[in-house]
Amino acid sequence: MSLTREALQALIDDDEHGLLTPAVKPEPVTNADILANRFEDINTFIDEHARNPDRANRDDIGEFQLGHRLQAILDNPEYRKALEHLDRHGLFGSSPDESAVSIDDLLAGHDPLLDGLLDEGVEQSDAVDIFTLKHVPPPSKEAPDKVARGKPCKDFDQFEHLFVDCHADLRSSRRQLKPFRNPSNIKQGFFYVQRGMLCYVAEIGELVQKPKGADGRIRAIYENGTENDPLLHSLARALYEDGKIVTEPIDTYTETFAMPDHVATGTVYIARTHSTDTQLAQFEHLHKIGYTSGAAKDRVANAENEPTFLHAPASLALALDMPAEYAKFIETALHQFFSETRLDLWFEGGAEPREWFNVPVDVIEQAVELIQSGQLANYRYNPSVGSIELG
């Protein structure tokens, strides 16, 4: 069937809802638009509060971020030039102060700090020798091929939300700060704290094997809108001295172990014994880490009659329902991770305490969270202090 010109015109004339009117393609959003919008956010803040946003205010993540955004703009001449027409609060100031003293003025004015610095009549022993370097160590034999220097991050808008989310995660304890211990812990997509500032490793370049391990240039983005490209081992040294590693986000068990109805389920359970056996009195945090395909409460209901429960009553401390295959993996991983604290005693009646460990419940929970985030391999359990450590 074909339409005549008249019939087609009739359809167009009857199109009261504009269904046949082609949509107008919006103009693409440019980097200049994004920069202008972000600067307008700063202007709006100043309109409302009659002051500049404070980048030291960590209690208000919005103001904190605006403060760092403003500082990044002030530090970047290109940004300032592009935004001059929007600077209604005079944030960029005026041209350099013409009253500033030049070097020639200082020398002509005999500044007391400079008096005698270049005088020829002063004895060498008393003169200030500005051409001889003192107390400067010789250059390192292993000097890097270039020095990494900070510079404004031109595409910081692509990373800004990551820093906002990371601060929110730290406040809500979804992420934690841990001591930095190993260069192998520097990975792409991870956060670190260097000298009190969040650092995000956006890229890791080609690594070259060296005597001290693999090393190469990385791209590090900082929350103040700057970036640099240090060697991996250079960043590691800085983090050793004054830094932390930020753990991956930890979701709740219900979110992580959510599963369809048709998937077979299992339970990793933590049980504590109520045995009165004197051999066990020395163990303050004795717990059984086990797996069951049934209900965990049923598993401990008849504990006093089962060898695996040491022929003693027991109660549940924690039960985690999840897909069966994953539950078996979690149980095995926990057994291996806490193997140093495994109970090694012999009980009459054939009791087999191979699933009993002297570990606090909260530490077992922490290990499960590290398994969820894929970070357990970077940690170890220290029985002497009863805590999990990077190592």
Percent of all residues in the chain with a pLDDT value above 70, rounded to a whole number? 71
> Average of pLDDT values for 43-59?
85
Amino acid letter, 82: A
Tokens describing residue 348:
């009459």
Cβ-based neighbour number of residue 369 at 10 Å: 22
pTM (2 d.p.) = 0.40
- Comparing 297 with 326, the larger pLDDT belongs to 297
Strands (E), the chain: 151-152, 177-179, 191-194, 197-204, 208-210, 213-215, 218-222, 226-228, 243-246, 265-273, 286-292, 314-323, 356-358, 379-382, 387-390
Residues whose CB is less than 8 angstroms from the CB of residue 130 and which lie 6 or more positions away in sequence, other chains included: 117
Question: Among 19-23, 166-170, 173-177, 360-364, which stretch is predicted with the lowest mean pLDDT?
Answer: 19-23
**Contact present, 319 and 362 (Cβ < 8 Å):** no
Position 99 scores a pLDDT of: 40
Give backbone dihedrals phi and psi of 122, rounded to 5 degrees, phi first.
-90, 140
Dist. CA 185–CA 116, nearest whole Å: 53
Position 41 scores a pLDDT of: 86
- Comparing 5 with 270, the larger pLDDT belongs to 270
Task: Convert the pLDDT of each residue in 339-359 to its tens digit.
Answer: 999 987 766 655 567 899 999
Task: Convert the pLDDT of each residue in 222-246 to its tens digit.
Answer: 999 999 999 998 898 888 887 888 8
Task: Convert the pLDDT of each residue in 213-224 to its tens digit.
Answer: 788 999 999 999
Position 215 scores a pLDDT of: 87
* 200-206-209 Cα angle (round to 5): 110
Q: What is the mean pLDDT of the chain?
A: 77
Binned at pLDDT 50, 70 and 90, residue 196 comes out as confident
Task: Convert the pLDDT of each residue in 60-108 to its tens digit.
Answer: 767 877 888 888 888 888 888 888 888 988 898 754 444 444 444 444 5
